[in-house]
Amino acid sequence: MAQLMSLLSKMDKKDLEQGLNKLSGMLKSKDSNEIINEIKKGKQ
């Protein structure tokens, strides 16, 4: 979670809003392993 917050803190406001909306959607629809995999894919 700390790694995720660190990643979010580096984004500008528009990217941050999009990231939070995407994260919120993922938390509602996917399990934690899928969320972690999505985050790892996004960083590459």
Higher pLDDT, 29 or 25: 25
Break the chain into its structural domains and give their ranges. 2-43
Mean residue pLDDT across the chain: 76
Is 23 in contact with 31 (CB distance < 8 Å)?
no
Whether this prediction's pTM lies above 0.75 is answered by no
Q: Name the 3-class secondary structure at 25.
A: helix
| pLDDT band for position 44 (cuts 50, 70, 90) | low
Stated length of the chain: 44
Fill in the DSSP letter of residue 29.
H
